[in-house]
């Protein structure tokens, strides 16, 4: 494994547990086992490091969403939460912690959220053989809400969202 990937994995685990602002550079360098000079050399700044962490997480998350149906989409979310943990959306947490003042983080969040909306629209279009923008928007809110609710309800929140999504899809296909 290359050094950059090792750093990103260690830093992601740290900020996922403790938050972006609470994870000082000393804590991040200790977690990654590198000097602050090495972190700055590879990422330029703490915000650059966090944007790289978000991009890597997004890459992994996207690979989980290569599914054909809405039900499979929510099953993938359940699996993700069981594997990665139920602490809410790291993207929205990073955005909230930084107040939208770090352009690198804002851009990473916007890319991820645009992809998610587009992916849900593609799944709906494939499953129902027609685009249904309203349904895709409803499913996006349900997906994001399940992610947030899982932080205090656990993976059961995604099960409830999956059932609600099934009702929405069934009603849309009538």
The total number of structural domains in the chain stands at 1
Over residues 12-28, the pLDDT tens digits come to: 999 999 998 899 899 99
Q: Which residues does 123 contact at the CB level (< 8 Å), separation at least 6?
A: 67, 68, 69, 70, 73
Domain hosting residue 127, numbered range: 47-172
Residue 32 lies in a domain: no
| Domain CATH for 116 | 1.10.357.10
Residue 29 lies in a domain: no
Q: Which residues does 40 contact at the CB level (< 8 Å), separation at least 6?
A: none
Q: Does the pLDDT of residue 174 top 80, yes or no?
A: no
What's the average model confidence in pLDDT over 33-38? 93
pTM of the model: 0.91
């Amino acid at each position: 494994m290359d050094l950059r990937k090792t750093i990103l994995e260690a830093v992601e685990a740290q900020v996922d547990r403790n938050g972006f602002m609470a994870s000082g550079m000393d804590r991040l360098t200790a977690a990654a086992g590198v000097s602050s000079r090495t972190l700055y050399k590879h990422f330029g700044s703490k915000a650059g490091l966090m944007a790289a962490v978000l991009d890597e997480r997004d890459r992994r998350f996207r690979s989980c969403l290569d599914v054909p149906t809405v039900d499979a989409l929510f099953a993938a979310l359940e699996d993700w939460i069981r594997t990665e943990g139920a602490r809410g959306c790291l993207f929205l947490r990073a955005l909230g912690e930084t107040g939208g003042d770090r352009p690198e983080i804002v851009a990473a969040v916007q890319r991820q959220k645009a992809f998610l909306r587009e992916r849900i629209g593609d799944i709906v279009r494939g499953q129902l053989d027609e685009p249904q923008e309203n349904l895709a928007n409803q499913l996006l809110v349900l997906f994001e809400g399940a992610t947030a609710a899982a932080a205090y309800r656990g993976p059961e929140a995604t099960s409830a969202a999956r059932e609600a999504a099934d009702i929405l899809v069934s009603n849309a296909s009538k």
